[in-house]
Amino acid sequence: MVDHQWDYEADILVVGSGAAAYSAAITASQNGSKVIMVEKGALYGGTTLRSGGGFWIPNNRFQEEKGIKDSKDDATRYMARYSFPQLYNPKDARLGLPENEYNLIATYYDTASKMVDYFWDIGAIKSIQEINWTGKPQVDYMDHLPENKGIRGRVLYSEGPDGKMAYGSELIRQLKAWADSKGILLLLNHRVTKIIHNNNKVIGLEALTGGNRKITFKAKKAVIFGSGGFTHNAELMLHFQRGPHFGGCSVQTNTGDFVNIAGAIGAKLGNMAGAFRAEIVLEQALSDPSGVHSVFYIMGDSILEVNRYGNRIMDEKRNYNDRTMMHFVWDPQRAEWKNMLVFLIYDQRTATLWQGFPPLPVQGIEAPYIISGNDFDELSKNINSRLTLLSRHTGGFGLDSGFSGNLKKTVDRFNEFAVSGKDLDFNRGDYNYDREWTTFPPTIPGSEWPPKESKNYTIYPLSSSGPYYAVILGAGTLDTNGGPVINEKAQVLNTENIPIEGLYGAGNCIASPTANAYWGAGSTIGPALTFGHIAGINAGNEPIK
């Protein structure tokens, strides 16, 4: 490759254009490197562009301003316990974790808040702390774990022009505006197909663009991948994920290219069964695979989820990532994923009060995925008829013959809990997360809520008469989060745990430092920004090849 004629040359090549990629590119550019960004899609921003846009940052500047102490000991214990419960040992110096896994978590705590301040200071991201509807800084997704200690305020967003927290589109707008102002070249419609290396050093990339024309890029210092997971690669999903998924909200270009590209030069893979997940409206996902049909919050109070046997399976107010794990329960007697599909059941009260908050439609707007019945027998019959129509997509999945009877018993028991205020089965409403994240005031202004007689406003009795409604839910992803393993410097490791010289990674294309845990809102973008920043620093410090 010494005499190769390159089409483009830069100090740093960055693959992708989401949060991880922009973080890396901006950091490297600010530190004096010439950067080129190479994006597979026709639109910049990746999945970040369609995300909620939050980033989970322990020990941030806003916590300090409010006098919230967020120590490294507390935060790392929470992260380690949530991500690796099978390994967690509070008495061990590394909390029971292998060296690299512990180092990634510790480095995240040490760097995340500095990253936020860095981007604030250079004018790349103006951050704001989330204050939830109760007027308090936001809680984490497992706020009740002893290791968490109920610490608030780790959730940040980019601040929009109106001074309020903004979605991922605004985060990308701010990042791209900074990059454009500094002349960072972004090439769209360029699909990277190969890492070029010489004497075990990464020196460039090969990509295809319009008409499958081959383009080569020279990296004088390093290559950084921030290219997303493999949600839309059916083969990888089938062979690596832990159970059936029916889609995801990541962009269609997330097909796991980095897995094969880095694997070809000996990269070590990790967390390949991992993903950030959310339940998904089955029929919407089947009819519109490129859309966003995730069910992040089970809003309302007279609402519950049941499986094919008509039984509740969890606290419906749990976070979307952990809630979706319940879909992968294997029944060893029947040889089936017993919760592969579940059914969101609610009454007219919830349909009216929380109308317009997905997946509930605005009243009067047709929503073909909503199944209704005048009583539970009719609802059950209609659900089964719908499942028959969908059977070629679900392996013939249907309701158990006892579904209708069990559903009635389940609703009666649920209603008893609603009256007493205590969910004896799953403790719904016992936690701040349940009360402040997934239960919130109705979307109809002026509605009297919560009811004065309520002892637990996350639960309300379903009406004694119909109509009743159901939505079929399956497992989906925000995106997968497995791939090449990195170290605390964001260097990609080979199968002998030695860094591949000149190759870095961040975001959903790598083995996530969070493993399968979702520490709090922004546990995808927080690590993406942070390890992108770390990659940008270390890649920029590499010598010219």
Average pLDDT of every residue of the chain? 97
pLDDT in tens, 106-130: 999 999 999 999 999 999 999 999 9
Q: What integer is the mean pLDDT of 228-246?
A: 97
Question: Average pLDDT for residues 220-243, to the nearest whole number?
Answer: 97
Instruction: State yes or no: pLDDT of 199 exceeds 90.
Output: no
- The answer to whether 502 and 545 are in contact (CB under 8 A) is yes
Contact 233, 23 (CB under 8 A): no
CA distance 500 to 492: 6
Three-state DSSP class for 414? Answer: helix
For helices 19-30 and 525-540, the axis angle rounded to 10 degrees is 30
Q: What percent of the chain has pLDDT over 90?
A: 97
In angstroms, the CA 426 to CA 458 distance is 12
* Per-residue model confidence as pLDDT tens digits over 296-312: 999 999 999 999 999 99
Q: What is the pTM of this model?
A: 0.97
Residues 6+ apart with CB under 8 A from 256: 229, 230, 233, 236, 480, 483, 509
Residue 227 has pLDDT above 90, yes or no: yes
Q: What is the pLDDT of residue 4?
A: 76
Q: Which amino acid type is present at position 246?
A: F
pLDDT digits (tens, 9 = 90+) for 456-482: 999 999 999 999 999 999 999 999 999
Query: Which is it for the CA torsion 46, 47, 53, 57, positive or negative?
Result: negative
Average pLDDT value for residue range 318-337: 97
User: Please, what are the domains in the chain?
Assistant: 8-230+481-540 (3.50.50.60), 279-477 (3.90.700.10)
Residue pointed to by tokens 């702390």: 129
> What confidence score (pLDDT) does residue 200 get?
87
Does the pLDDT of residue 139 top 90, yes or no? yes
Model pLDDT, residue 417:
98
**pLDDT recorded at residue 545:** 84
Residues 510, 479: Cα–Cα separation, whole Å: 11
**Stretch 148-156: mean pLDDT, rounded?**
97
Residue 3 pLDDT greater than 70, yes or no: no
Q: 158 pLDDT exceeds 80?
A: yes
Q: What mean pLDDT is predicted for residues 314-338? A: 97
What's the rounded Cα separation, in Å, for the pair 136 and 45?
Answer: 31
Average pLDDT over residues 427-446: 96
339-361 tens-digit pLDDT: 999 999 999 999 999 999 999 99
Q: Is the pLDDT of residue 259 over 90?
A: yes
Q: Is the pLDDT of residue 2 over 90?
A: no
- Residue 366, pLDDT > 60, answer yes
Q: What is the pLDDT of residue 211?
A: 86
Task: Give the pLDDT mean for 63-91.
Answer: 98
The mean pLDDT value for 475-504 works out to 98
pLDDT at 1 over 60: no
pLDDT at 118: 98
